[in-house]
Amino acid sequence: PFDVLVVGGGPAGAAAAIYAARKGIRTGVAAERFGGQVLDTLAIENFISVSHTEGPKLAAALEQHVKDYEVDVMNLQKAVELIPAKDLGGLHEVRLENGASLKSKTIILSTGARWRQMGVPGEDEYRNRGVAYCPHCDGPLFKGKRTAVIGGGNSGVEAAIDLAGITAHVTLIEFDSQLRADAVLQAKLRSLPNVTVVTSALTTEVLGDGEKVVGLRYRDRNSEDEHLVELEGIFVQIGLIPNTEWLEGSVALSNRGEIEVDARGATSVPGIFAAGDVTTVPYKQIVIAMGEGSKASLSAFDHLIRSSVL
Residue numbers 219-248 binding ligand FAD by CB under 6 A? 243, 246
Q: How many binding residues for ligand FAD (CB under 6 A)?
A: 39
Please report whether residue 274 would count as binding ligand FAD according to CB under 6 A: no
CA atoms within 13 A on the CB side of 30: 24
Please say if 137 is a catalytic residue: yes
Least Å distance between CB 245 and ligand FAD? 8
Please say if 124 is a catalytic residue: no
Please report whether residue 36 would count as binding ligand FAD according to CB under 6 A: yes
The CA distance from 263 to 84, in Å, is: 21
294 C-beta neighbours (distance < 10 Å), count: 19
Task: Pick from 3, 5, 6, 8 the residue near ligand FAD by CB under 6 A.
Answer: 8
- Phi/psi region, residue 112 (left: phi>0; alpha: psi -120 to 50; beta: rest), is left
Please say if 3 is a catalytic residue: no
C-beta closer to ligand FAD: residue 9 or 152: 9
CA 217 and chain centroid, separation = 27
The CA distance from 237 to 159, in Å, is: 8
Active-site position among 3, 72, 87, 138 = 138
Please report whether residue 72 would count as binding ligand FAD according to CB under 6 A: no
The CA distance from 257 to 245, in Å, is: 8
N-to-C CA span, the chain:
12
Active-site position among 134, 162, 262, 302 = 134
Task: Pick from 170, 289, 296, 304 the residue near ligand FAD by CB under 6 A.
Answer: 289
Contact track, ligand FAD, 104-123, x by CB under 6 A: ------xxxx-x--------
CA 257 and chain centroid, separation = 13
Contact track, ligand FAD, 38-57, x by CB under 6 A: x-xx--x-x-----------
Please report whether residue 78 would count as binding ligand FAD according to CB under 6 A: yes
Can you state the angle between helices 11-21 and 55-67, rounded to 10 degrees? 20
251 C-beta neighbours (distance < 10 Å), count: 20
C-beta closer to ligand FAD: residue 6 or 164: 6
The CA distance from 64 to 50, in Å, is: 17
Binding site for ligand FAD (CB under 6 A): 7-13, 30-34, 36-38, 40-41, 44, 46, 78-79, 110-113, 115, 133-134, 137, 243, 246, 276-278, 284-287, 289
